[in-house]
Amino acid sequence: MHRFFLPPERCTGHALRLDGREAHHALHVLRLKRGERVTVLDGAGHEFFCDVENAAKDFLTLTVKETKATPPLPCAITLLLAVPKGKIIESIIQKSVELGATRVVPILSERVVTHLDDDGAEAKRDKWQQVAIEAIKQCGAAWLPRVEAPVAIEQFLARQEKIDLVLVGSLQTERRHPREYLDTFQSRHGHLPRSAAVWIGPEGDFTLAELQAIEAAGAQPITLGNLTLRVETAAVYCLAFLTYELQPR
């Protein structure tokens, strides 16, 4: 069944309307006709099973026949990712959707060559958010991760966000297996973390000064094994581990 996306504010009532990008794909690529069944995702946990009511020149109207609600994962996971070269970040965002990340924060570090002004950062954010939207349509995820505009390490740390467990992949400092930190947290609090974040550095890792700042803010260094992983592999490794360990049993 073909999937489409509409933001939650447009998914009220029993009649939905596809226009713009979504309508173009439905009308001119899929060539949907009246009576065909489609799925609409709102990225906020709801899946709407609809019939095409009317296929006009540049929009479609849909009739909602059934609604399914999916609760969020019990732990909100943030990926703090040093922006890699080229379009690798788009693939990482796609995998982040599939692996249950709640948020992706692109990080500008000393070894990241990309430097953006406010307008450029917001344009990148819009582009990457669209990648996430396309990914939920492909894999059927009910929840859309939020992709933020690229931000410098010191700017993110200045927010002083309250996150239960923060990890950082490191090649330079004393490290432990991430499960040790989960076990310690559960032993101390009587439950698993309800929010978690993991920092993934650029090629060559974060600088020592950056790692010290990240760890001083509360992040705990983890090992990803004996091999030096590519950025995209490290991100997938960490998200897969956290999603598996923190999902309902």
Judged on CB neighbours under 10 Å (0-12, 13-18, 19+), 207 is middle
- Which residues in the chain are classed under CATH 2.40.240.20? 2-69
List where CATH 3.40.1280.10 sits in the chain: 76-246
- Convert the pLDDT of each residue in 98-126 to its tens digit: 999 999 999 998 887 666 666 778 889 99
Tell me how far apart the 2 most distant CA atoms of the chain are, in Å: 62
**How far apart, in Å, are the Cα atoms of 121 and each of 84, 86, 108, 126, 143?**
15, 15, 11, 9, 24
Q: What is the pLDDT of residues 145-158, one digit of tens each?
A: 999 999 999 999 99
Confidence (pLDDT) at 247: 81
| Per-residue pLDDT tens digits for 127-151 | 999 999 999 999 999 999 999 999 9
249, pLDDT greater than 70: no
pTM recorded for the entire structure: 0.92
Structure tokens at 117: 């002004």
Residue type, 183: D
* Residue 151 and residue 107 in contact, taking contact as beta carbons nearer than 8 Å: yes
Q: What percent of the chain has pLDDT over 70?
A: 96
Q: What is the CATH number of domain 76-246?
A: 3.40.1280.10
CATH fold label, 2-69: Ribosomal Protein L25; Chain P (2.40.240)
For the four alpha carbons of 155, 213, 201 and 168, in that order, the dihedral sign comes to: negative
